[in-house]
Amino acid sequence: MSERPTKAILRVLDGEPVWPLPIWIMRQAGRYLPEYRATRTQAGSFLDLCYTPRLAEEVTLQPIRRFGFDAAIMFSDILVIPHALGQEVRFVENEGPKLDPITSSADLKRLADELPLDRLDPVFETLDCLSASLPRETTLLGFCGAPWTVASYMIAGKGTPDQAPARLTAYRDPAFMQVLIDKLVAASTAYLIRQIDAGAEAVQLFESFGAALPPALFDKLSLDPIRRIVEGLKQARPQAKVIVFVRGGGSHLHRFASAGVGDALALDWTLDPAQILPDLPGRVATQGNLDPLALIAGGEAMEKGVDHILSAVRGRPHIFNLGHGILPETPTEHVAQLIARVRGTRA
Ligand code: CP3
């Protein structure tokens, strides 16, 4: 018989209800922390920060030191995959990511056939360092973007409202879209396997742009690719735990659960756990889902939001989190108050 995990988050991912709920927050290492901004300045560019293990380790640890979250998520970005495949990627101050758009089969051919894993060695080294430096009770998380979300950046070359360029490509040239998605499935699977080997205990897939997909495209571009990655990872590394976050996944979530895709499903803030959870099949765990703006507001708005989630998930395997990433304008005191409320202690 395999040993039962002792870390709170791994117990939840094993299907065990844990109380008080373990907590981490998406984008917990970031600009709302003054110590992050200082290290970010020291690093120079955002990609230099991602690819310098000593600095990436430092910013991963900052929110753990300050707040004692139950999980640390390695510091990196979903766009290191297109970068490693050979696409030009830059992060422009106050504008976000910029890539040289991939729009033709000729552009696609210029990308590497297989993910050159050695280009991502700094990420694996960061994980290796973190396995040694994290407190013993803290779960180490790896991650990658889901293929549709990453493809939408690769095609548009930037963030776009409703991912219109990638959606249009999916209608006009489904064969091109499928080749790109398949490439990302293979790359992401190989990348996550290496993350597990480097010390990640669980990984999260970020489908940040699931809400843009019409039902007719959802299975082909989101559910299927995610299912193939999770199956490939689990086949290679059966112990790996997976959290699947599909922003806008709403009505599709029960299909992820019944297909057994993911040990936990992360809910975005538009979903009411009191309604969703009773209908979710199987023993799938859940994660989420306070509105990041309720955390900025703090006070009663935050307390009500937290209390509603706590009462809806009581007795179930659930990890407390936000319904999407924390925003740069979030006051750090509110984060401390959030954790105290979830843990039933004082800030
Ligand atoms: O703490 C953590 O969660 C780990 C680090 C992490 C980052 N990005 C660091 C980052 C993670 C998990 C991501 C994922 C990511 N990156 C997603 C999916 C999650 C989500 O929020 O939907 C997406 C869509 C990206 C792409 C990306 N990276 C964008 C759109 C931007 C610019 C927008 C912004 O917030 O400025 C980034 C840059 C980025 N990635 C920053 C951080 C901390 C800010 C850059 C900076 O410090 O200048």
Query: Is pLDDT of 292 > 60?
Result: yes
Residues flanking ligand 1, CB < 6 Å: 26-31, 40, 46, 73, 75, 77-79, 91, 96-97, 143, 145, 159, 206, 208, 325
Q: Is 54 in the active site?
A: no
From the CA of 206, give the closest atom in ligand 1: 18
Task: Report if residue 1 sits inside a domain.
Answer: no
Backbone angles phi, psi at 194, to 5 degrees: -65, -35
Fill in the DSSP letter of residue 262: -
Q: Is 31 in the active site?
A: yes
pLDDT tens for 75-128 read 999 999 999 999 999 999 889 999 999 999 999 999 999 999 999 999 999 999
Side-by-side strand order, sheet with 202-207 = 71-73, 139-145, 202-207, 241-246, 264-266, 285-290, 318-322
pLDDT of res. 295: 98
Task: Report if residue 328 sits inside a domain.
Answer: yes
Contact partners, residue 112, CB within 8 Å, separation at least 6? 84, 85, 86
Task: Report if residue 57 sits inside a domain.
Answer: yes
Task: Report if residue 2 sits inside a domain.
Answer: no
Count the domains in the chain: 1
Structural domain harbouring 249: 8-343
Strand partners, 244: 205, 265
pLDDT tens for 131-157 read 999 999 999 999 999 999 999 999 999
pLDDT tens for 11-26 read 999 999 999 999 999 9
Task: Report if residue 56 sits inside a domain.
Answer: yes
Mean pLDDT value across the chain: 96
Q: Give the distance (Å) from ligand 1 centre to CA of residue 345.
A: 30
CATH number of the domain where residue 67 is located? 3.20.20.210
Q: Give the distance (Å) from ligand 1 centre to CA of residue 77.
A: 6
